[in-house]
Amino acid sequence: WTNNALSFDWEEVPDVVNQLGEEIEHLYWASIDRPKKSHWLAAYELVSSVLEPNPASKWKAGELPLDGTPREMTDLVHPDEFPLSMFYEAFEKKMRDVIASTKGITGKSDA
pTM value is 0.70
Q: From CA 64, how far away is CA 75, in angstroms rounded?
A: 10
Query: How many Cα atoms sit within 13 Å of 16 on the Cβ side?
Result: 7
The helix (H) or strand (E) run that includes residue 16 is helix 13-30
Q: From CA 96, how far away is CA 42, in angstroms rounded?
A: 36
All structural domains of the chain with their residue ranges: 13-101
Give percent above pLDDT 90 in the chain.
59
**pLDDT of res. 87:** 75
Mean pLDDT for the stretch of residues 76-83: 87
Backbone Cα Rg of the chain = 19
